[in-house]
Amino acid sequence: MSEQDVLRAQSAESPTRPTHVRYYVLSTAFVASVLLYLHRFTMTYAEQYVREDLGLSVSQLSWCYSAFFFAYALGQVPSGWLSSQYGSRIMLTIYILVWSGFTASMGVVTGFVGLFLVRAAAGLGQAGAYPTCAAVVGKWAPFSVRAFVSSVIALGGRVGGAIAPKVTSFLIVALVPCLLVESSTMQPRDLLQPAYLAEQLDLSAAPLEKPSEELLAQQLLAKKIREGLSPEVQGTLPLLSEAYVQAQETAPAKPRQFGDKPLPKPLPANDETEAFVKGLNAVIAGPILLNETDAKTLPVEREGKRLWQAGDLSDPQRARLNRLLLEAGFPSAVRKVYGGGWRQVMFILGSLGMIAAVAWMFLVRNVPQEHPWVNRQECELIAVGQPVSSNTTGIRTKLPWGRMLSSVSLWNLSASQLGTNIGWAFLVTWLPRYLREVHHVPFEERSMMASVPLWVGWFGMLSGGWSTDRLTQALGLRIGRSWPIGLSRFVGAAAFLAMLTHPNAWTATILFAVVAFTTDFGASPMWAYSQDVGGQHTAAVLGWANMWGNFGAALSPLLVNYLLGENQDNWDMAFAACGIAFIVSGVAGMFIDATKKIDPDEDL
């Protein structure tokens, strides 16, 4: 009997119609899911500013990414068990408060150890969110729409992930306004590589061996900066440049030229550095260094383009434009002015979690029968088609570890999740960096492009839920759950392997969108499988599969960082590894069987 049949029968028997509390509960779960991913990935889109502000290496940042996912993975089963034991209402309230509190705490860290620990703690707090939401869906959604509702809740995460880049970039830029000239001037710590910048300014007068439009614009900018320096500061440039080369353990193989990458060993700041910074600040406060036409090939931030178009600029606006030009021309040498806003963003977003926790505690109950707003008709409607042992009474039983560990199907799902997240995690860790370093996309445009795959993932999530419901009705439970997972991964693998053709920035974004669509297409069948076989232990079963998936996500940043090689530029190896991981995921996904129950009561 469908939900519509029950409504018609109830209308005939009683004038009292079912209440709609299930919509409030499931909507609150959707909001919690949005917040989950918004908090999780904000650091990804602020990573450049976090790394520069805290003085982190790329390797250290990789470990901070992985710390979150390792803790998230290890917390999956315990948090799912806690939710089964103590109820979804109280436990998810605690989880939201924990992860939101540690997200806000990111704003006060001062180095690698602090960031590593805070990210790990936030990951541990988030571990129970999806297993707990899955249990809520199992108890509050009618069976006929269980997979679709699961897809909507999971979609909330993708909504949060999709808005994270724009929310992060908007807040960071808004929190660093150009109200004063001093808001764009530099401190000595803002010169990340003072000797390298001095060297490049010193070499700017020499002719280029292989000129390109971008390099010519960069050289013109360097000449303008050098001309604006006082004679005393100009005199220090050759000294800093020579000391920079001599500080290297191995002498460069050929004479240094303008446009060369930084040498491996930076020269520590010295007395000349402070004078150099003062000279650069005089240039920043002076006339506009380049017009929009001369700088068209440089990755100038969108704010700079708005300032050019504004025409007559105030002193603070002119200083901001010059600072943005300096950053665009020498990104590895200068700390970004927007780096002053990332800490406040963490405070703001973390505070949203406190509001969400209160809303969850107020609106949600563990089962419909406990909710004071739910009438008998709504309880009957939710119960339609539910297995007899769905545990709407809240009775607790032991976790069937033996059946879980001996389930070949669950191990296949775990392997599929592991491979999927090795590839998918690239989209939410290193994609902004790839767009910045390979295609030189500025911050606000980069945030917009990085959000596109996650927006496209919405459609994959919704269509995956719809498809698995229809396939299950037409071909049975085994095919209805396994095919959407397995086949979608093969398409995602093809998209990753297509990256080996070195596409332009927008084509790469489209390929990453295909990866996101196929990943999310298989998410709803995975949730539905956990509910099909888990019964009252749905949270623990989903937590088990999620644990392995997040081991893959934890491995991904470290693997990509390793495959990029010593020069951090071998992206082909990274994309090939992600494609292979998706192929393995697809093969494992094809052998998932949702007819093999894990909860012994579900066999009744």
Q: What pLDDT, in 10s, does the model give residues 544-558?
A: 888 899 999 999 999
Angle at CA of residue 440, ends 439 and 442, nearest 5°: 125
Higher pLDDT, 261 or 543: 261
Section 163-180 average pLDDT: 92
Residue 387: per-residue pLDDT:
60
How many Cβ atoms are within 10 Å of 143's Cβ, its own excluded? 18
pLDDT at position 268 is 78
Pick the closest to residue 65 from 73, 75, 55, 53 (CA basis).
73
pLDDT of residue 2: 54
- Asked if residue 457 has pLDDT above 90, the reply is no
Residue 386: per-residue pLDDT = 66
Would you state the pLDDT for residue 186?
A: 93
pTM of the model: 0.85
Residue type present at position 582: F
Average pLDDT, integer, range 101-126: 96
Mean pLDDT, residues 426-450 taken together? 93
CA distance linking residue 278 with residue 555, whole number of Å: 44
What pLDDT shows up at residue 5? 56
**Domain segments of the chain: what residues?**
3-175+341-603, 181-338
Q: What pLDDT shows up at residue 390?
A: 47
Residue 439 confidence class, pLDDT cut points 50, 70, 90: very high
- Which residues, in sequence order, are CB contacts of 134 under 8 Å at separation 6+? 150, 153, 527, 530, 531, 538, 539, 542
Q: SS3 string of 173-211? A: HHCCCCCCHHHCCCCHHHECCHHHHHHHHHHCCCCCCCC
- Is 591 strand, coil or helix? coil
What mean pLDDT do residues 63-79 have?
A: 90
Cβ–Cβ < 8 Å for 531, 135: no
Collapse the DSSP code of 334 into the 3-class scheme (helix H, G, I; strand E, B; otherwise coil) and give the result: strand
CA 404 to each of CA 109, 292, 310, 420: distance values in angstroms, whole numbers, following the listed order: 40, 62, 64, 21
Q: Is the pLDDT of residue 572 over 90?
A: yes
Answer for the pair 32, 129: CB distance below 8 angstroms, yes or no.
yes
Q: Which residue has the higher pLDDT, 158 or 257?
A: 257
* pLDDT of the residue at 12: 45
Give residue 542's pLDDT.
Answer: 76
For residues 390-405, give the mean pLDDT. 66
3-state secondary structure of 296: coil
Give pLDDT, residue 23.
92
Q: What is the pLDDT of residue 600?
A: 57
pLDDT tens-digit readout, 515-541: 999 998 998 888 788 878 887 777 678
What is the per-residue burial (b if ≥16 Cβ within 10 Å, else e) of 400-435?
Answer: beebbeebebbbbbbbbbbbbbbbbbbbbbbbbbbb
Residue 95, Cβ density class (10 Å: 0-12 exposed, 13-18 middle, ≥19 buried): buried
* Nearest Cα residue to 552 out of 154, 70, 143, 6: 70
DSSP 200-265: HHHHTTSPPSS--HHHHHHHHHHHHHHHHS-HHHHHHHHHHHHHHHHTSSS--SS---TTPPPPSS
Three-state SS annotation for 341-375: CHHHHHHHHHHHHHHHHHHHHHHCCCCHHHCCCCC
- Which range has the top average pLDDT, 36-50, 126-140, 390-404? 36-50
Q: Residue 334 pairs with which residues in a beta bridge?
A: 191
- Give the rounded percent of residues in the chain with a pLDDT score beyond 70: 94
DSSP 396: -
Q: What is the pLDDT of residue 80?
A: 75
The pair of three-digit structure tokens given for residue 471, joined into one six-digit string: 């396939």
**What pLDDT, on the 0 to 100 scale, is given for residue 4?**
56
Please tell me which residue, 383 or 414, carries the higher pLDDT value: 414
604 pLDDT tier (thresholds 50, 70, 90): very low
What was the pLDDT predicted at 597? 84
Rg (CA), the chain: 27
Mean pLDDT, the chain, whole residue set: 89
How confident is the model at residue 151, as a pLDDT? 74
Q: Which architecture, in CATH terms, is 3-175+341-603?
A: Up-down Bundle (1.20)
Q: What is the pLDDT of residues 220-247, one digit of tens each?
A: 999 999 999 999 999 999 998 998 998 8
Res 359 pLDDT > 50: yes
